Amino acid sequence: TIPIAMFSERYNMRRAPLLLGLIILVGSQIMLMEAPNYAVMCVSRVLQGFGSTMVWVVGLALLCDSTPEQYIGKQLGLSMVGLSLGFLAGPPIGGALYTRFGFRGPFISGIILALLDLIGRLLIIERKDALRWGHDPAAVPVTPSQEEEEKSTDAATSPQPEQQPSRISLAGVIARLFTSSRAVAVIAVTFLYGIIYSAQEPTLPLHTQTVWGLNSKQVGLVYLAGVIPTLFSGPLSGWLSDKRGVEWLSVICILLSIPWWGIMILQGRLALFIVAYALASFFISGLLSPIVAEFAAVARSIDGVGYGHVYGAFNLVYGIGTCLGPVIGGQVYAHLKDKDGWMAINLLSVGLLSVSLLLIFCYTGDDPILAKLRRRLKST
């Protein structure tokens, strides 16, 4: 994450890292498919992580480069739909390919999709190249009448020059991020979000099997109830964050999700549990689009820090959070009885959500909610 983020910003490049990431991804799939031993499988998985990280980090930076500022939340929300669709469609498609064509089927399918993606990346026109032709993809779209009016008022207007990012060192980027309370807050919230989102993964099958006697297929259907709502929450929250501000929407998502985490503790009807799980997933996943949009705002507010830097930080802390989440959830569940362990995991999630709520309330947005309340109290 760190090297690719620094490289992308230092040399102001997006397409080349994306192409390299996809080439590594294709190569890792081939290695994994034909691995003669366990060591090669491990190396191929590491390379797969490298390639995926390059596509994820630089892809988000490219999207922000080419999107008007007031539409970033909406576009990032739409990009989250692709992630949810992949999680939703991947397992059944992979299973069907494995059943029909054997173990090579899913790998060949992944290679084909990555190659199609590679072709699409070859067609990318970066913002720095578009500016040379007098077109700024990050400019607000105008109607034909507005365009004619602008031409008539200033026929000599030249295209907006490309803004070269400051070539600061890694230490400089870290220092600038951690001296900004806004940046520290969104980094901390992302870390906590990763823990919350992943802590239930190893324990949900055990809990549903113990309480309601569900088998693996039925547990898979419960997981679908948690994934399907994310297809709608991402675009909706992204659009609303552009309209109302990331700080307000983030607070609303957390406040509306907390009660459902508490309801999931109850061991009554299975239908109630599934509804609570689906609604908790809807609201907690709705928090992701405002978080990602807030990272873009942080990049715009700190001189010398680019989109690649902030999305590298996002990927790093989110990855650490999702690594720790299953470990924490599994250890808590293993050391306590099922009822107490499941309750502890949900109460931990509520506590971490409360900490996130406090950070967002105090520091998130161009004008944080706490600052607004202070001004209102002083004026009265």
State pLDDT tens for residues 181-194: 999 999 999 999 99
Q: Quick check: 82 pLDDT over 70?
A: yes
Measured CA to CA, the distance from residue 262 to residue 281 in angstroms comes to 13
Q: Any idea what the CATH number is for the domain that residue 256 is in?
A: 1.20.1250.20
Give yes or no for residue 163 having a pLDDT over 70. Answer: no
Query: Of 99, 130, 161, which residue constitutes the final position of a domain?
Result: 130
Residue ranges in the chain assigned as alpha helix (H): 2-10, 15-34, 38-65, 72-101, 104-122, 127-132, 144-153, 170-178, 181-199, 204-212, 216-227, 230-244, 246-263, 270-285, 288-301, 307-335, 338-363, 369-379
Taking a C-beta distance cutoff of 8 angstroms, is the pair 87, 33 a contact? no
Residue 166, pLDDT > 80, answer: no
Residues 211 and 351 in one domain: yes
Give Dmax over CA atoms of the chain in angstroms: 75
Ranking 43-57, 76-90, 307-321 by mean pLDDT, the lowest is 76-90
- Domain end: 77, 112, 130, which one? 130
- Stated pTM of the model: 0.87
Same domain (yes/no): 337, 188: yes
Instruction: Mark whether 123 and 26 lie in a shared domain.
Output: yes
Which one of 130, 158, 179 terminates a domain?
130
**Residue-level pLDDT at 201:** 87
Both 287 and 228 in one domain: the answer is yes
In this prediction, residue 146 carries a pLDDT of 53
Decide: 353 and 257 in contact? Cβ < 8 Å: yes
Quickly state the pLDDT bin for 155 (edges 50, 70, 90). Answer: very low
> pLDDT (tens digit, 9 = 90+) per residue, 35-71?
999 999 999 999 999 999 999 999 999 999 888 888 8
The answer on 182 and 107 residing in a single domain is: no
In a domain, 343, yes or no: yes
Domain presence at residue 143 = no
Would you say residue 302 lies in a domain? yes
- The answer, yes or no, to whether residue 154 has pLDDT greater than 90, is no
Q: What is the rounded CA–CA span in Å between residue 291 and residue 234?
A: 11
Q: Note whether 114 and 189 are same-domain residues.
A: no
- Reported confidence tier of residue 83, pLDDT bands at 50, 70, 90: confident
- Residue 60 backbone zone (phi > 0: left; psi -120 to 50: alpha; other: beta): alpha
Are 110 and 180 contained in the same domain? no
In sequence order, the 6+-apart residues with CB closer than 8 A to the CB of 271 are: none
CB contact at 8 A, 172 and 304: yes
Residue 135 pLDDT greater than 70, yes or no:
yes
Residues 287 and 368 reside in one and the same domain: yes
Structure tokens of 352?
Answer: 């971490």
Asked whether residue 148 is domain-assigned, the answer is: no
Residue 339 inside a domain? The answer is yes
**Of 158, 212, 194, residue with least CA distance to 315:** 194
In this structure, the answer to whether residues 47 and 184 fall within a common structural domain is no
DSSP of 109-134: HHHHHHHHHHHHHHT---HHHHHHTT
* pLDDT tens, position by position, 16-29: 999 999 999 999 99
Q: Is the pLDDT assigned to residue 227 strictly greater than 60?
A: yes
Residue 49 lies in a domain: yes
Task: Evaluate if residue 329 carries a pLDDT over 60.
Answer: yes
pLDDT at position 151 over 70: no
pLDDT of residue 298: 94
Q: Give every CB contact of residue 151 below 8 A, 6+ residues apart in sequence.
A: none
Residue 216 shares a structural domain with residue 362: yes
Residue 242 and residue 122 share a domain: no
Instruction: Flag whether pLDDT at 222 surpasses 70.
Output: yes
What average pLDDT does the structure give for the chain?
Answer: 88
Higher-scoring residue by pLDDT: 79, 161: 79
Q: How many domains does the chain contain in total?
A: 2
Mean pLDDT score, 4-8: 88
**Cβ neighbours for 267, distance < 8 A, ≥ 6 positions apart:** 211, 339
pLDDT of amino acid 117: 93
Name the residue with tokens 């470990």.
Answer: 327
Measured in degrees and rounded to the nearest 5, phi and psi for residue 45 equal: -70, -40
Q: What is the pLDDT of residue 161?
A: 46
Question: Residue 213: inside a domain, yes or no?
Answer: yes
**In angstroms, rounded to a whole number, what is the distance separating the alpha carbons of residues 257 and 261?**
7
Domain span at residue 236?
Answer: 170-379
Residue 129's nearest CA partner among 51, 71, 65, 49 is 65
The pLDDT assigned to 85 comes to: 86
User: 330 and 204, same structural domain?
Assistant: yes
Has residue 136 been placed in a domain? no
Residue identified by tokens 């807050």 is 185
157 pLDDT higher than 50: no
Calpha distance 282→270 (Å, rounded):
18
